[in-house]
Amino acid sequence: AQKVTQAQTEISVVEKEDVTLDCVYETRDTTYYLFWYKQPPSGELVFLIRRNSFDEQNEISGRYSWNFQKSTSSFNFTITASQVVDSAVYFCALSAYGQNFVFGPGTRLSVLP
């Protein structure tokens, strides 16, 4: 069975603070993909990153960075110098090759001015 856990239900930070969103996953598959999506109040899912299980290289994209560690089954997401526009619900998701997504429960991030 596949499972994604996001232990932080809600996080509040003040603008310009760094914030890390945790994601821990479970799967028996050896080939899988991990994702992060942002869901603003309007509802659409905004794709942030996809990482396959064979690529543990960390990635940085502007103020966003991701730390993938297979040893701990974690795929954490850090926002540096947070901004009010970063306020949203963030979902971590897991997908085995060719299968549907399993979403984590989401973390609601509020960035206060």
Partner 1 sequence: GAVVSQHPSWVICKSGTSVKIECRSLDFQATTMFWYRQFPKQSLMLMATSNEGSKATYEQGVEKDKFLINHASLTLSTLTVTSAHPEDSSFYICSANRVSDNSPLHFGNGTRLTVT
In the list 33, 53, 65, 73, the residue contacting partner 1 (rule: CB under 8 A) is 33
Nearest distance in Å: CB 62, partner 1? 19
Beta carbons within 8 Å of 97's beta carbon, 6+ residues apart: 29, 31, 32, 33
Q: Could you tell me which stretch among 19-27, 54-62, 73-81, 102-110 binds partner 1 (CB under 8 A)?
A: 102-110
Nearest by Cα to 70 from 29, 9, 21, 20: 29
Residue 79 or residue 89: which is nearer to partner 1 going by CB?
A: 89
101 forms part of the interface with partner 1 (CB under 8 A): yes
Nearest distance in Å: CB 83, partner 1? 23
Helix (H) or strand (E) holding 64: strand 64-69
Nearest distance in Å: CB 24, partner 1? 15
Is the distance from CB of 78 to CB of 66 less than 8 angstroms?
Answer: yes
110 forms part of the interface with partner 1 (CB under 8 A): no
User: Cα separations (Å) of 52 from 16, 84, 111?
Assistant: 30, 30, 30
